[in-house]
Amino acid sequence: MTPPPTLSPLQALILAAVQGVTEFLPVSSSGHLILVPYFLHWPDQGLAFDIATHVGTLLAILVYFRSDVRDLVVGFFTGQPRSADGDYNPRRLALMIVLATIPAGIAGLLFKDWVETQARSALLVAGTTIVYGLLLGLADRVGRHAKTIGEIGWQAALAIGMAQALAIVPGTSRSGVTITAALLLGLTRPAAARFSFLLGIPVFTLAALKQGLDLLETGIPTAELVPMGIGLAGSAVIGYVVIAWLLKWLRSRSLQVFMVYRLILGAVILATVFFRD
């Protein structure tokens, strides 16, 4: 059997940049990673490359939020009353993150095969891009923007976690749908984004572990090691920069620009699909 085509270094770098940017902006990384090869007629990047970029974005979160990660881990086991910045009780927030992770884990186990085989069409990505873009814009406009990350209770954590489970469908955006839910529950924009990013740590870890186990069954072709290295490093560096930029942006600006982007992107996808047909 002929092995699938391998990404070139340039293709790997571009896809790593796409992953690093779109994983943290509320515009859907999975949707863009489907659309870029679709529009440019590139080969599918494959499981090994996906794992590398997931690890890269995980590293970006761990490095950027290293103080929070330390507080959450130490506080969970010691009962440390407040985080270093005084924003939250570490043990309580760690429990909220665990609770919010459960729905996504269940959805991944139940629907992973369906998503990989049936939910990768451009039309579906267009629909989810538009619908969840409108919801993001609505939440940004009507949310009270009053609560801090330390005020997230178990009901809010579970609701955000259930929203996160929807992100298994390409085009939804994990960061977008969790920020949307958090805004509707009254969080400030920076707090909503911060909780969304911290919530990504267990999700990316579980996804990388699951994909890694799947990859062990087939092995890693030597030819994919270079694209994997580029994907990991590129998504980590670019993801770190994007996290820092978005959190700064949200201190004084709204998310409406991302709603507009999603609406335009969805319209372009629909037009492309119809004209091709």
* pLDDT tens figures, 179-212: 999 999 999 999 999 999 999 999 889 888 887 8
- Residue 16 is predicted with a pLDDT of 94
Rounded-to-integer distance, Cα 30 and Cα 20, Å: 11
pLDDT surpassing 60 at residue 147 = yes
- Residue 276 is predicted with a pLDDT of 66
Rounded-to-integer distance, Cα 120 and Cα 228, Å: 22
Nearest to residue 30, comparing CAs of 167, 165, 136, 160? 167
Rounded-to-integer distance, Cα 156 and Cα 152, Å: 6
Highest mean pLDDT among 54-58, 170-174, 255-259: 255-259
Rounded-to-integer distance, Cα 50 and Cα 211, Å: 8
- Residue 2 is predicted with a pLDDT of 47
- pTM of the prediction? 0.91
- For tokens 């009053």, name the residue: 146
Own/partner contacts of 63-69, CB < 8 Å, gap of 24 or more, are 63/236, 63/240, 64/197, 64/240, 64/243, 64/244, 65/194, 65/197, 65/198, 65/201, 68/194, 68/198, 69/201
Task: Please indicate whether residue 45 or residue 157 has the higher confidence score (pLDDT).
Answer: 157
Give the pLDDT mean for 145-161.
Answer: 95
Task: Please indicate whether residue 52 or residue 221 has the higher confidence score (pLDDT).
Answer: 52
pLDDT tens for residues 24-53?
999 988 778 777 887 788 877 777 888 889
Percent of the chain exceeding pLDDT 70 equals 96
Average pLDDT, the chain: 89
Other CB atoms within 10 A of residue 76 CB: 17
pLDDT surpassing 90 at residue 213 = no
pLDDT surpassing 80 at residue 14 = yes
- Residue 242 is predicted with a pLDDT of 97
Which positions ≥6 away from 89 have C-beta within 8 Å? Answer: 75, 81, 82, 83, 150
Record the tokens describing residue 21, joined without a space. Answer: 């940017």
pLDDT surpassing 70 at residue 4 = no
pLDDT surpassing 50 at residue 1 = no
8 A C-beta contact, residue 63 and residue 53 = no
pLDDT tens for residues 69-127?
999 999 999 988 999 888 999 999 999 999 999 998 898 878 877 776 776 677 888 89
Give the pLDDT mean for 17-29.
Answer: 91
Rounded-to-integer distance, Cα 131 and Cα 9, Å: 34
- Residue 63 is predicted with a pLDDT of 97
